Amino acid sequence: MRLMFSIVTSSCSSVCSCSSHIWSTHQSTVSTSIPLSKYPGPRLWAITHFPDAYHRATGRQAHLVADMHHKYGPVVRTAPNELSFCEEGAWLDIYGKPVSRSTQLPKDQQQILPPPSGVWNMSQQPSDEEHQRMRRFFAHGFSEKALRDQEPIMNKYFNLFIRRLHENCAKAVDINKWYDLLSFDVMSDLAFGESFGGLENSKLHPWTKSMQAMLRAIPVLGITQKYYPLDRILLLIAKPFLRESELKFYNFVERQVMKRLKLQTPRPDFLVYAQESLNTPESLTFQEICENAGLLMVGGAESTPSALAGVTYLLLCNPTCLAILTSCLRTTFQSVDEINSVTVNIDYLLAVLNEALRLYPPVPSIFSRVTPPEGCFIAGRYVPGNTSVSVSQRGINRSASNFVRPNEFAPQRWTGDAEFRDDQLKVVQPFSVGPRNCIGRNLAFFEMKLVLAKLLYSFDLELCEESRGWMDGQKILFFNVRPPLMIKLKPYVKA
C-alpha cells in the first residue's frame, strides 16, 4: 500500500515502472537464482516465492526467517532473489551510505502502488534527492527545539491519559487500547492541528480503525506481485478495495491538512515549517504536504504504542525489573508533576526501553533494499545485482552470537553489567540507520520515557491471567498485530 513506509513483501529485483514490473519480476528470478545458490536456506524457499509470500500473508514470515538464521547462520536465502542478513555490518551496507558506494541502495519499490495523486511521500520516494528535499521540510518539526516547544501539547495528553486511567481503574483495563488512544491523540494534534479526542471518548476514531485494517492488509495484498499472471488477476480483485480505502484515507487527510493550514496562530507542530514556506519557490506543494502528513500520522501513531505495550508486558513478566524501575521513579520524584523531559533522564528507564525495543521491535518487518545491477558487498560478502536484501531484526536481536541469554529481558545489559560485557548492543537498530532512518526517533523516546515514567509512578501494575503469553506468536503484518493487553491498576498513594 502506498500510504506508508515502503512495503516489505516484495521480491522483485528492480525498481521498475508499473507497466513493466511483471516481466522484471519474472526475469530477475531467473537471472539471480544461480549466483545466490551458495547462500543457505530451505530448498523450497529458494526455488519459489510461494513460502515467503504465504508466510508474509499469515504474519509468520519474520518469525520463520529469524528461526532460519538460528539454523543456517548469518545470511539466509528466503526467496529466489532475496537474502536476509543477521550481521552488524549489514545495517550500514544495506540501509546506509557506506564509503564504498556513492549512492544508497534503493528501496524495493515493487509493492508501492502509484498514488492516485501521483505524488510520493518521503518514505516511498524513489529519488534520493527528492527524499532529502521533502525530509528537510519536516526535520524542523523533529529538532530538539521543536520537541521542547511541543512538550506542552504532548503533556496535556500524557496527563489526560493518567487521569482517564484513574477514572477507569476499578476494573481491569486494556492498556494496549489506551496507548493507542493516547498516541493517536498526540499525533493527530501534531500532524493535523487537532486531536481525535480518543482519550476523552475512550474510543478510537473511526478513521483509525480503517487505517489499521488497511495496514494489516498490505502484506496480504503484496502477494499479488509474486505470481505472474496471477498477480494481474489478484490485483484486479484487490484494487477496488485498495483504492476505496486509500481514497477515504486521503480525503480525510486532505480535509484535516486544509483546516490546519488555514490556522493563522503559529503552532509548533509538524507542519509549521511547510506552512511558513508555502507559496515560496522552494516550498512543498499542498499534495506533498498531505502525503507526508498522512505518513507522519501513521508512522508515529502505530509504532510508539507498540513499543509502550511491549515494554509494559515485559516489565510485568519480570517483577524484579518492574520493582527496580518503580522504586527508582518514586524515590526520584515527590509527585508525578515533577516528571518532565529534563528530569526523566534516568539511566535504568532508558535501559528498560532499549531492552524492550530489542526483544519487541515495533517495526519488525524487513524493509528490503535492492542491490545495483553490478552487485555489491554486504557485510564483506559479494551479493549479485538485483537482489532484494534486508536485516532480520528478530534474528539479529535474539542471536546467541550477539547476546548472552538472548531471549531474556535483562535491562542491565545496557548499563554495563559485567555478565553482558560481550553483548553486541550496536546490532539493535529499531529505528533503522542511514539517510532514510526514522525521522521520529527523538520524539518516540520522548513519548515513551514520559508516558512510562508517569504510569509507573502513578499505579502499581499487575498482569491479568488472560494476557499471560501476550507476546508469543503475535502476527507481524508490517507492524506487530497486538491483541488486548489486560492489566490491573492500583493507584499509588505516597506514604
Contact positions vs ligand HEM (CB under 6 A)? 5-6, 122-123, 135, 295-296, 299-300, 303-304, 307, 362-363, 367, 430-432, 436-440, 443-444
Taking the complex as a whole, the smallest distance from the CB of residue 229 to ligand HEM amounts, in Å, to 29
Distances (CA, A) of 472 to 61, 63, 178, 378, 495: 15, 11, 21, 32, 38
Taking the complex as a whole, the smallest distance from the CB of residue 350 to ligand HEM amounts, in Å, to 13
Cell digits of residue 289: 504536504
Q: Which amino acid is at 370?
A: V
Q: With respect to ligand HEM, which residue has the nearer C-beta, 46 or 363?
A: 363
Is position 438 annotated in a ligand binding site? yes
Taking the complex as a whole, the smallest distance from the CB of residue 240 to ligand HEM amounts, in Å, to 27
C-alpha closest to that of 245 among 218, 210, 217:
210
Q: With respect to ligand HEM, which residue has the nearer C-beta, 175 or 443?
A: 443
Which DSSP state fits 115? P
Residue 233 burial (CB < 10 Å; 0-12/13-18/19+)? exposed
Are the beta carbons of 86 and 69 closer than 8 angstroms? yes
For residues 209, 215, 220, 223, the Cα torsion angle rounded to the nearest 10 degrees is 150
Q: With respect to ligand HEM, which residue has the nearer C-beta, 91 or 333?
A: 91
Taking the complex as a whole, the smallest distance from the CB of residue 486 to ligand HEM amounts, in Å, to 22
Residue with the closest Cβ to ligand HEM? 440
Q: With respect to ligand HEM, which residue has the nearer C-beta, 161 or 333?
A: 161
Are the beta carbons of 97 and 128 closer than 8 angstroms? no
Q: How many whole angstroms separate alpha carbon 166 and alpha carbon 162?
A: 6
Taking the complex as a whole, the smallest distance from the CB of residue 120 to ligand HEM amounts, in Å, to 10
Quickly list H helices, 362-440.
393-397
Cell digits of residue 181: 488512544
Q: With respect to ligand HEM, which residue has the nearer C-beta, 135 or 140?
A: 135
The residues that bridge with 489 in the sheet, in sequence order, are 461
Taking the complex as a whole, the smallest distance from the CB of residue 188 to ligand HEM amounts, in Å, to 11
Q: With respect to ligand HEM, which residue has the nearer C-beta, 134 or 214?
A: 134
Are the beta carbons of 368 and 8 closer than 8 angstroms? yes
Residues 6+ away with beta carbon under 8 Å from 23:
228
Q: How many whole angstroms separate alpha carbon 93 and alpha carbon 105?
A: 8
Peptide bond before residue 219 is cis, with ω within 30 degrees of 0 = no
Taking the complex as a whole, the smallest distance from the CB of residue 104 to ligand HEM amounts, in Å, to 10
Residues 6+ away with beta carbon under 8 Å from 84:
65, 68, 69, 75, 76, 78, 366, 389, 390, 391, 392, 395
Q: With respect to ligand HEM, which residue has the nearer C-beta, 304 or 371?
A: 304
Taking the complex as a whole, the smallest distance from the CB of residue 455 to ligand HEM amounts, in Å, to 16
Taking the complex as a whole, the smallest distance from the CB of residue 425 to ligand HEM amounts, in Å, to 16
Q: With respect to ligand HEM, which residue has the nearer C-beta, 299 or 395?
A: 299
Peptide bond before residue 364 is cis, with ω within 30 degrees of 0 = no
Q: With respect to ligand HEM, which residue has the nearer C-beta, 271 or 383?
A: 271
Q: Are strands 388-391 and 82-85 parallel, antiparallel or unpaired?
A: parallel
Annotation: binding site for heme: 438
Annotation: binding site: 438
